[in-house]
Structure 1
Amino acid sequence: MNELRVVIVEDEPATARNLIRMLQDIDKRILVEAKLTSVSEAVVWFTANTTVYDLVFMDIRLADGLSFDIFNQTMIDRPVIFVTAYNDYALDAFKNNGIDYILKPFDQQEIGKALEKYKRLTGAGAPAPDRLPLKELAEQLLQLKKNYRKSFLVHYRDKLIPVESAKVCWFYTANEIVYAHVADNRQYVIDLTMEQLDKELDPEVFFRANRQFIVNRAAIQEVNFYFNGRLSLKVNPETPEKVLISKARVPEFKSWMNK
């Protein structure tokens, strides 16, 4: 691969630094032309710099709005790899149309695979990818984003009752059973896996803390420092065991809490 000029659009400094480190570990010839932190800054930069970059790594949610707003205000005609916390199968639309995405927290292997895909799509003799315009893809994703699960129909005693997703304080798995815990300390068995919940819940409201817990933003009362760079969450109602955020996910969690 010849010199690759990259632009990073990411409002979380730690995430941007981590991405740059991984890119340069993969290939020293990768040059970061710009680090942009907001929609407004990106619009100004891309308008003034139309040909000085080859590839864009872009977070979907920025401090001043969704990155899709950038495409409505300026032209980006280079490949874009979205680096995002949106864990939604609908994002396959991007992959199917020659654009990739990487879920946070990402690792070097995922970054490497995305770069390999970029090289395949843009290498000598490669056919031009048959893809929809970025604006149209963005509209597809925004439409699908509105369809996050609103409620669950759960067994309670001898009947079925609806439970609103937003009223669940935290989801917890133990012995391959998933529970939904609400504010009045009632607990219901949910007939979904944690992975399925992670895809179906609104990421603005819920955060996958670890393999055992998905927590509602409204239930978090305190965030405490824990051993080895981790964080411990105090939530209400209280959980059966500590809710810990790993060191690797701390930047993502802080960014989520600050939005």
Structure 2
Amino acid sequence: MNKLRVVIVEDEPVTARNLAHVLQNVDQNIDVTASLPDVKDAVEWFNDNPGAYDLVFMDIRLADGVSFDIFKQADVLKPVIFVTAYNDYAIQAFKNNGIDYILKPFDEAEIELALSKFKRLVVQRPKGDANQPFEQLLQHVKILAKPYKKSFLVHFRDKLIPVETVKIAWFYTAHEIVYAQTTDGQQYNIEFTMEQLEQQLEPDLFFRANRQFIINRKALTEVDFYFNGRLSLKMKPEPPEKILISKARVPEFKKWVDS
């Protein structure tokens, strides 16, 4: 029986070793072909080894960016099982070859279930489908990933009106109420939490600046340096308070703006 060639993309060495151990304990036919610690190494490896693997286990937040950046720079044509500590990337994961989404800390049973799903989808496909491209096999999985919201139905003067998502400059939460501010100066209450919004908004257009704000890149007018390595954002319309990017999130924010 041919070995199942698995690639691990994980920036925490202990987690990578633990995952490799669990995989080989679940299925002795698994060969961990490569363990890659960051976006840069992963891009190089996938570009240099296009046919040298069957399945990828991939963390999402890596030391030098998010793993979705890999798909922009390399052809990853095989299934991906995402293993992450964050639950807010599920939709994006299923749009990038994802067939499963496991939250850390993972256990052996979850890994075994994910491998079973992979085998049902790919390894044990009907003989007549042997040459079917993987992209076609994924179609029924991708329907699990709902499209990003294009509009919100909001209450306004005893009516319900649709508000286009692209026209929302920023979302803001205060006293457990979430508001949406439109580019034309209207403000509405939104019946979603900020965490729910993160899963429903197009990540190329919207960014979770901090606990209180999710911003639209089209409403960002200026970025100023602030104390202790933070950044201060200027938006149009102007928000009710200063929007700050923490020092730890500055690299992620810069990459988002510069993408």
**Residues 1:62 and 1:158: Cα distance change in structure 2 (over 3 Å):** same
Aligned 8 A contact 2:43 2:70 in 1 = no
Give the Cα–Cα distance (whole angstroms) in 2 for the partners of residues 85 and 251 of structure 1.
18
1:130 Cα deviation after fit: 3.5
1:7 Cα deviation after fit: 5.4
**Residues 1:257 and 1:45: Cα distance change in structure 2 (over 3 Å):** same
Aligned to 2:147: 147
1:174 Cα deviation after fit: 1.1
Q: What do residues 62-87 of structure 1 show as CA deviations (whole Å, max 9, x unaligned)?
A: 277276x411xxx67xx754669993
Aligned 8 A contact 1:198 1:208 in 2 = yes
Aligned 8 A contact 2:234 2:243 in 1 = yes
Aligned to 2:173: 173
**Residues 1:143 and 1:157: Cα distance change in structure 2 (over 3 Å):** same
% identical aligned pairs: 39
Give the Cα–Cα distance (whole angstroms) in 2 for the partners of residues 127 and 64 of structure 1.
21
Structure number with greater CO (CA < 8 Å, separation at least 6) is 1
Alignment partner of 1:70 is 2:76: yes
Aligned 8 A contact 1:39 1:65 in 2 = no
Aligned 8 A contact 1:230 1:244 in 2 = yes
Aligned to 2:116: 129
Query: How is 1:26-105 mapped onto 2 (pairs within 5 angstroms)?
Result: 37=40, 41-47=44-50, 56-57=58-59, 59-62=66-69, 65=72, 69-71=75-77, 80-81=81-82, 87-90=88-91, 99-100=100-101
Matched residue type, 2:195: E
1:41 Cα deviation after fit: 3.8
Aligned 8 A contact 2:81 2:99 in 1 = no
Aligned to 1:182: 182
CA RMSD of aligned residues (A): 4.3
Aligned to 2:248: 248
**Gaps in structure 1 of 5+ consecutive residues:** 9-18, 103-109
Aligned 8 A contact 1:6 1:57 in 2 = no
Give the Cα–Cα distance (whole angstroms) in 2 for the partners of residues 100 and 149 of structure 1.
21
Matched residue type, 1:47: P
Decide which moves more: 190-199 or 35-44: 35-44
**Residues 1:161 and 1:209: Cα distance change in structure 2 (over 3 Å):** same
How many aligned positions are there? 221
Give the Cα–Cα distance (whole angstroms) in 1 for the partners of residues 58 and 217 of structure 2.
30
Q: What do residues 87-119 of structure 1 show as CA deviations (whole Å, max 9, x unaligned)?
A: 35557979xx985456xxxxxxx4xx25x55x9
**Residues 1:245 and 1:43: Cα distance change in structure 2 (over 3 Å):** same
Aligned to 2:205: 205
Give the Cα–Cα distance (whole angstroms) in 2 for the partners of residues 130 and 191 of structure 1.
35
Q: Secondary structure at the match of 1:129?
A: helix
Aligned to 1:23: 13
**Residues 1:83 and 1:139: Cα distance change in structure 2 (over 3 Å):** farther
1:160 Cα deviation after fit: 2.2
1:188 Cα deviation after fit: 0.9
Q: Secondary structure at the match of 2:149?
A: coil
Aligned to 1:237: 237
Q: TM-score, normalised by structure 1?
A: 0.64
**Residues 1:65 and 1:181: Cα distance change in structure 2 (over 3 Å):** same
Aligned 8 A contact 2:210 2:244 in 1 = yes
